[in-house]
């Protein structure tokens, strides 16, 4: 089932924060003379085309290709916001072979499932063909619940929770063990470890694929973990040479707090909030920020219950926090 | 008095032992054929890799008085290989041919002589006495080399003297200049192999496949009087199905890839055919050597109709990814790693289609139309006649995919009987049980 049938794409605040952070970083790169608006965007728009709308409006990208593996061409075409989006009804892995190898691309492999053979294969294909300067973003589900898909469902019925975990660990080792560069253990699939393991495996896979090319390296920019309804992980960066790296440094990209070249993901989950809550938080930003420097707990006089982690993230990313209203149209 | 240096050198017997160890008799014979064709390629500027994508016939173009021919005759007593590929100059014989590990530097043709060791190790592998006669446009030379006598000369003298051309027992019978080599006093293992029909047949197949592009381009290869034909498969194409043709370059190597689906009447398992300067080094490969089971899924009978050609071409033969025996690839060479990525990229759309159309009774995706039907209404295109330089595999089904799919599963007999009773009809068909159980789940769980 396509994930849009489960959740409205617009109503994912953390995902939206992620999109806006990426846009902010890419705008900075553009300002430094590396013009992102000349790029071609290849992504998985789904029927909402959210990233296409944003990347066109805020990154001024006109060349856009949307790949869709599910078979509803009319609906995809009907919802296409711009004529210039080239809709290709194929899995993205089959679109990569026809991209122009001379021109820079922004590719977002934005999957709604966990790391698997196809994900690794698509990454591999991208890194084989993309021109220097291209940007590759990969999003996967990093939820233990989704990893149970690795287990044979018939066998799964016979297993208790512990056995399932052991089986997942075994399957994960088969899949990404060689990329992770060590044995994955049961403790590694705990929710606080799993995103780092996934990010690390993705990084190593990317580096091993790119080592075959002698013209480019991968410079990581993004490593986000967030949760709307599932734990997600996004790893991304730009491929290029020493000059690209210098350009990134000159552009001040690494000074952005949400840009990292570390294997430890940056948590960007933000809470779903009511209008009143959001307004209150924004009004009290400075106070909250100061309080959170010295305390792990929230101030005692909080007018509503909320986790301190989420408030911390809200304080960091309030500029990118989306707000949704119901509108009668 | 103690010496001031420790002795270090290579002995002849060690060298012979080590260089013949990892080469089979068949590969040794192919090395000699490579040597013959290498000279023809240089002299006539032949490029048989063109025959992958066009109808390339060099004989007609060059207007030669006779076709380029390599004639092999073998018996339990001797082995003879004769070619009219232009012959070896006296200078090359003096300064190059018999030196161990002296591949030509800076060649400017797509040669087959890669490591500067092939001919010598073929001689050592096959027999003890070598007679060689060669003629070029303006000179002729002969060598009679008794390997046992040469061994007895010791480690100081490695040279091989020229003989008088009248002293050799060989008769050269071509109009064009060329070379004839005879090996006698065959090694015991070689003698027995040469008497086996199985060996001769295997050698024949290997020659046919190894030089398929040469044969297709007009080279005549004869084994014990029989002219060999090539037997390269073609691609199936139709309005619904195409093939991939992609050319890439890595440093000084050109890589041409062709991939698609072989026709349904062709039941031979396929895979990747790999060529280096036109010489095939892997035949219908389905192993990790060509990415199966690593980047690609494990090869499975459902991929039997996958067919791919990967052709590497370079004037710098050392850049090519062939293994030292020229049967197999050097898996870790940079050019091969790049090619593997491209092969992976171009192969997945094809394996995806074959996966969907797997031609089996248990097809759980599209029960009504199998691969056979898909491959019924098209034609077999020998792309070698007129392949497009750039093409992308396309699958454009004319028929809409049916919206229904078949599910089949196996359950314990007594359990199924109990379900039938519970459903109120013990004589119910098994398939009906499955349907009712499925409908029950849909109704109670999905609403």
Residues B92 and B145 in one domain: yes
Tens of pLDDT along B383-394?
565 566 678 888
- Cβ distance B240 to B396 under 8 Å? yes
Residues A287 and A157 in one domain: no
Tens of pLDDT along B16-62?
999 898 889 999 999 999 999 999 999 999 999 998 888 888 888 88
Q: Is the pLDDT of residue B259 over 90?
A: yes
Of A71, A98, A124, the CB nearest to B295: A124
**Closest by Cα among B236, B233, B246, B330 to B283:** B233
The answer to whether residue B334 neighbours chain A at the CB level (below 8 Å) is yes
Sign of the C-alpha dihedral, residues B145, B135, B118, B232?
negative
pLDDT in the model for residue B149: 94
**Closest by Cα among B286, B280, B360 to B327:** B280
Residues B109 and B192 in one domain: yes
**Higher-confidence residue: B205 or A327?**
B205
pLDDT in the model for residue B401: 55
pLDDT in the model for residue B360: 46
pTM of the model: 0.84
Q: What is the extent of the structural domain holding B340? A: 235-386
- Cβ distance A214 to B341 under 8 Å? no
**What is the predicted ipTM?**
0.81
Of A121, A129, A214, the CB nearest to B295: A121
Domains: count for chain A? 2
CA triple B281-B286-B289, angle to 5 deg = 55
| Chain centroid offset of residue B418 CA | 58
Residues A32 and A91 in one domain: yes
Residues B130 and B166 in one domain: yes
Residues A167 and A302 in one domain: no
pLDDT in the model for residue B237: 83
Residue of B nearest to A92 (CA): B349
- At which of B182, B199, B227 does a domain end? B227
Residues B284 and B190 in one domain: no
Residues A8 and A129 in one domain: yes
Q: Is the pLDDT of residue A25 over 60?
A: yes
User: Hunting for tokens 């297709």 — which residue is that?
Assistant: B216
Span of A60-69, A270-279, B82-91, B120-129 with lowest mean pLDDT: A270-279
Q: Is the pLDDT of residue A143 over 90?
A: no
What proportion of chain A, given as a percentage, has pLDDT over 70? 95
- Cβ distance A280 to A306 under 8 Å? no
Other CB atoms closer than 10 Å to residue B59's CB: what's the count? 16
User: Hunting for tokens 């240089």 — which residue is that?
Assistant: B42
- At which of B227, B259, B277 does a domain end? B227
Which whole number is the average pLDDT over A276-295? Answer: 90
- Given phi > 0 = left and psi -120 to 50 = alpha, else beta, which region is B224? left
Give the span between the Cα atoms of A233 and A147, in whole angstroms.
Answer: 14
Q: Is the pLDDT of residue B159 over 50?
A: yes
Q: Is the pLDDT of residue B432 over 70?
A: yes
Which whole number is the average pLDDT over A14-39? Answer: 94
DSSP B45-94: T--GGGGGTS---HHHHHT-SS--EEEEEE-SS-EEEEE-S----HHHII
pLDDT in the model for residue B359: 47
3-state secondary structure B81-94: EEECCCCCCHHHHH
- At which of A267, A283, A299 does a domain end? A267
Which whole number is the average pLDDT over A190-206? Answer: 92
pLDDT in the model for residue B120: 92
Tens of pLDDT along A288-313?
998 888 888 888 889 999 998 889 99
Q: What is the extent of the structural domain holding A311? A: 275-320
Residues B170 and B123 in one domain: yes
DSSP 8-state symbol, B329: B
Residue of B nearest to A178 (CA): B294
Chain A contacts of B297, Cβ < 8 Å?
A: 117
Residue of A nearest to B394 (CA): A94
Whether residue A129 and residue B337 make contact (CB cut-off 8 A), yes or no, is no
Tens of pLDDT along B295-327?
787 888 778 889 999 999 999 998 999 998 889
């Amino acid at each position: 089932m396509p994930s849009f049938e489960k959740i409205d794409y617009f109503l994912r605040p953390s995902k939206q924060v992620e999109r806006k952070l990426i846009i902010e970083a890419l705008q900075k790169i553009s300002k430094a003379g590396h013009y992102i608006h000349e790029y071609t965007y290849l992504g998985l728009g789904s029927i909402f085309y959210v990233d296409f709308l944003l990347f066109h409006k805020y990154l001024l990208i006109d060349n856009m290709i949307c790949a869709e593996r599910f078979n509803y061409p009319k609906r995809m075409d009907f919802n296409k916001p711009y004529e210039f989006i080239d809709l290709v009804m194929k899995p993205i892995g089959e679109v990569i072979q026809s991209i122009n190898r001379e021109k820079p691309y922004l590719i977002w492999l934005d999957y709604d499932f966990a790391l698997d053979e196809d994900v690794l294969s698509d990454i591999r294909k991208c890194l084989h063909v993309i021109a220097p300067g291209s940007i590759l973003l990969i999003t996967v589900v990093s939820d233990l619940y989704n990893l149970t898909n690795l287990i044979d469902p018939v066998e799964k019925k016979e297993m208790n929770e512990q056995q399932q975990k052991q089986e997942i660990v075994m399957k994960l080792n088969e899949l990404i063990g060689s990329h992770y560069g060590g044995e994955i253990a049961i403790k590694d699939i705990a929710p606080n470890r799993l995103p780092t393991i996934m990010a690390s495996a993705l990084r190593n896979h990317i580096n091993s694929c790119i080592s075959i090319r002698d013209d480019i390296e991968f410079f990581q920019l993004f490593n986000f973990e967030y949760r709307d309804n599932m734990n997600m992980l996004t790893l991304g960066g730009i491929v290029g040479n020493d000059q690209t790296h210098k350009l990134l440094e000159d552009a001040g990209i690494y000074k952005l707090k949400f840009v990292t070249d570390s294997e430890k993901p940056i948590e960007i989950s933000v809470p779903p909030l009511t209008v009143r809550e959001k307004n209150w938080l924004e009004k009290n930003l400075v106070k909250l920020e100061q309080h959170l420097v010295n305390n792990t707990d929230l101030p005692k006089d909080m007018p509503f219950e909320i986790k301190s982690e989420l408030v911390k993230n809200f304080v960091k990313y309030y500029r990118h926090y989306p707000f949704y209203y119901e509108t009668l149209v | 008095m103690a010496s001031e240096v420790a002795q270090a050198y290579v002995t002849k017997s060690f060298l012979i032992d080590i260089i013949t160890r990892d080469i089979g008799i068949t590969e040794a014979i192919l090395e000699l054929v490579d040597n013959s064709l290498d000279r023809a390629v240089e002299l006539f500027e032949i490029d048989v890799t063109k025959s992958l994508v066009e109808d390339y016939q060099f004989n007609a173009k060059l207007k030669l008085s006779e076709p380029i021919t390599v004639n092999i005759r073998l018996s339990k007593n001797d082995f003879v290989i004769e070619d009219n590929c232009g012959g070896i100059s006296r200078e090359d014989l003096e300064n190059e041919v018999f030196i161990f590990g002296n591949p030509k530097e800076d060649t400017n043709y797509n040669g087959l002589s890669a490591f500067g060791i092939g001919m010598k190790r073929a001689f050592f592998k096959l027999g003890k006495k070598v007679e060689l006669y060669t003629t070029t446009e303006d000179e002729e030379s002969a060598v009679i080399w008794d390997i046992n006598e040469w061994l007895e000369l010791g480690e100081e003298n490695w040279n091989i003297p020229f003989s008088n051309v009248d002293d050799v027992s060989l008769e050269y019978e071509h109009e064009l200049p060329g070379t004839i080599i005879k090996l006698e006093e065959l090694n015991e293992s070689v003698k027995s192999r040469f008497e086996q029909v199985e060996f001769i047949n295997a050698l024949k197949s290997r020659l046919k496949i190894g030089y398929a592009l040469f044969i297709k381009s007009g080279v005549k290869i004869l084994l014990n009087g029989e002219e060999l034909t090539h037997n390269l498969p073609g691609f199936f194409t139709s309005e619904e199905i195409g093939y991939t043709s992609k050319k890439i370059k890595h440093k000084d190597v050109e890589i041409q890839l062709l991939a698609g689906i072989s026709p349904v009447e062709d039941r031979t398992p396929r895979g990747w055919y790999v060529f280096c300067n036109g010489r095939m080094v892997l035949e219908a490969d389905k192993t990790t050597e060509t990415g199966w089971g690593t980047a690609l899924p494990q090869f499975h009978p459902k991929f039997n109709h996958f067919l791919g050609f990967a052709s590497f071409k370079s004037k710098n033969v050392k850049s090519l990814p062939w293994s030292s025996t020229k049967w197999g690839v050097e898996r870790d060479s940079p050019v091969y790693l790049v090619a593997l990525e491209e092969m992976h990229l171009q192969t997945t759309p094809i394996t995806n289609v074959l996966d969907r159309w797997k031609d089996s009774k248990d097809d759980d995706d599209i029960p009504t139309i199998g691969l056979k039907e898909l491959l019924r209404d098209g034609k077999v295109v020998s792309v070698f006649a007129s392949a497009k330089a750039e093409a992308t595999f396309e699958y454009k089904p004319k028929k809409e995919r049916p919206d229904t799919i078949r599910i089949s599963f196996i359950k314990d007999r007594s359990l199924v009987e109990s379900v039938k009773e519970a459903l109120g009809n013990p004589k119910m068909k098994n398939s009906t049980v499955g349907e009712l159980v499925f409908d029950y789940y849909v109704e109670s769980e999905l609403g």
